[in-house]
């Protein structure tokens, strides 16, 4: 291991107690490996919506200022005073960013499990992936099949396992169909492929006609455009046709969750055998798993008393299903990384290119269908 790097460049996010966000590239030491660790040369890492909270720290990007040099750019921005109190746990602490990524194992600790990964292309989930090197425990890595590149492996955890987790949750809770919002995203396309393959009724919700057309071209049967005047009736009809009484909402804020619950209730009442002043006895569930809309979640309670709304997060789900099922789901992702779970990227960025104000403003928009890939060693 004498020829291994002793340090590497890493993107770090700092929120100061003075109310500033400071983004920079810093040299980070590569520590000696523990027996159960491997060292991954990170070659690709996606910018997921779940990365942006840590990266941007609630900053107002309209105040962003470019600084530094061409090779070591910096960005600073103001954090509105009322929001700083929500960031108390991270004030004045530089934090590395990037939930997942793909790369090659270039060194391994002494354990048999770690040694087995030497030279392998892996996907990894462990944070701090917007850096050139990352030391991880061997079980944080998913070994790819021969011929799979680091770029193809980069998004093998968050979106694939979330889409599989939605179907698993639906079954575990006794539902037979599901609803998904922001359905034209990379994750939404994965979910559509899973549901077609496994015969699961799926109702997709999108905002644009071109997104309807794209999902239809993939074989989607039910795609509802929330921008259409007849959205509510189309959604109700789709729920009635599929029995989809559990929804996974990527938007979070606004009234979309409310509209879904109301359409579920209308579909349930249409088949009810008798009237009840408490509404239908069909339980209706919306899980919020994203925050594309950061505003308040608005509920107008026109859907009886048998309903629920709450959060859904991948990590607790994986803990709930247990190690054996977790391993099965991960292997499914590895086996289908170029088909069911293939990701597509708008652009590939070096670490320095990721720290350009105009580029950051673009990926901060979290537009459906747009996804950026960071390549730390470019």
Strands 307-311 and 60-68: unpaired
| pLDDT surpasses 50 at 1 | no
Q: What is the predicted pLDDT for the residue at 276?
A: 87
Q: Which has more pLDDT, 49 or 66? A: 66
pLDDT, one tens digit per residue, over 189-205 is 999 999 999 999 999 99
| Mean pLDDT, residues 289-307 taken together | 94
Tokens of 227: 């921008």
| pLDDT one-digit tens code per residue, 320-377 | 999 999 999 999 999 999 999 999 999 999 999 999 999 999 999 888 878 999 999 9
What per-residue confidence (pLDDT) applies to 145?
96
The full length of the chain comes to: 378
pTM: 0.91
CB atoms within 10 A of CB 272: 12
Are 346 and 354 in contact, with CB atoms under 8 Å apart? no
**What's the rounded Cα separation, in Å, for the pair 47 and 77?**
19
Q: d(Cα 263, Cα 272) in Å, to the nearest integer?
A: 14
- pLDDT score, position 2: 55
Q: What percent of the chain has pLDDT over 90?
A: 92
Provide mean pLDDT across the span 212-225: 98
Structural domains of the chain in order of their starting residue, each with its CATH number: 7-155+344-374 (3.90.180.10), 158-316 (3.40.50.720)
| Predicted local distance difference test score (pLDDT) of residue 298 | 97
Mean pLDDT of 110-134: 97
Whether 219 has a pLDDT exceeding 80, the answer reads yes
For the segment 266-279, what is each residue's pLDDT rounded down to a tens digit? Answer: 999 998 878 888 99
Distance CA 369, CA 189 (A): 10
- 260/3 Cα distance (integer angstroms): 57
């Amino acid at each position: 291991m004498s020829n291994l790097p002793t340090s590497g460049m890493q993107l770090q996010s700092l929120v100061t107690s003075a109310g500033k966000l400071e983004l920079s590239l810093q040299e980070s030491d590569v520590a000696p490996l523990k027996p159960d660790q491997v060292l991954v040369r990170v070659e690709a890492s996606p910018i997921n919506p779940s990365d942006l909270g840590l990266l941007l720290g609630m900053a107002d990007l309209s105040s962003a200022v470019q600084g530094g040099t061409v090779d070591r750019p910096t960005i600073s921005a103001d954090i509105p005073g009322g929001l700083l109190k929500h960031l108390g746990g991270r004030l004045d602490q530089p934090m590395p960013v990037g939930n997942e990524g793909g790369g090659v194992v270039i060194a391994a600790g002494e354990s048999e499990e770690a040694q087995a990964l030497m030279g392998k292309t892996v996907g990894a989930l462990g944070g701090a992936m917007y850096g050139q090197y990352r030391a991880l425990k061997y079980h944080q890595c998913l070994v790819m099949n021969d011929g799979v590149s680091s770029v193809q492996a980069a998004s093998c955890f968050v979106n694939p396992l979330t889409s599989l987790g939605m179907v698993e949750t639906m079954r575990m809770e006794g539902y037979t169909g599901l609803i998904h919002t922001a359905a034209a995203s990379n994750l939404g396309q994965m979910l559509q492929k899973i549901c077609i393959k496994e015969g699961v009724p799926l109702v997709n919700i999108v905002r644009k006609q071109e997104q309807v057309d794209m999902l239809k071209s993939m074989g989607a049967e039910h795609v509802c455009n929330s921008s259409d005047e007849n959205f509510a009736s189309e959604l109700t009809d789709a729920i009635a046709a599929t029995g989809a009484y559990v929804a996974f909402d990527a938007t979070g804020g606004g009234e979309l969750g409310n509209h879904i619950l109301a359409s579920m209730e209308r579909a349930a009442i249409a088949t009810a055998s008798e009237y009840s002043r408490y509404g239908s006895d069909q339980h209706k569930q919306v899980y919020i798993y994203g925050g594309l809309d950061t505003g308040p979640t608005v509920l107008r309670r026109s859907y009886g008393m048998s309903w629920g709304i709450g959060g859904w997060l991948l990590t607790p789900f994986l803990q709930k299903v247990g190690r054996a099922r977790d391993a099965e789901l991960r292997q499914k992702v590895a086996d289908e990384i170029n088909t069911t779970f293939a990701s597509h990227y708008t652009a590939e960025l070096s670490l320095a290119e990721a720290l350009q104000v105009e580029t950051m403003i673009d990926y901060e928009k979290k537009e459906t269908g747009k996804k950026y890939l960071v390549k730390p060693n470019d």
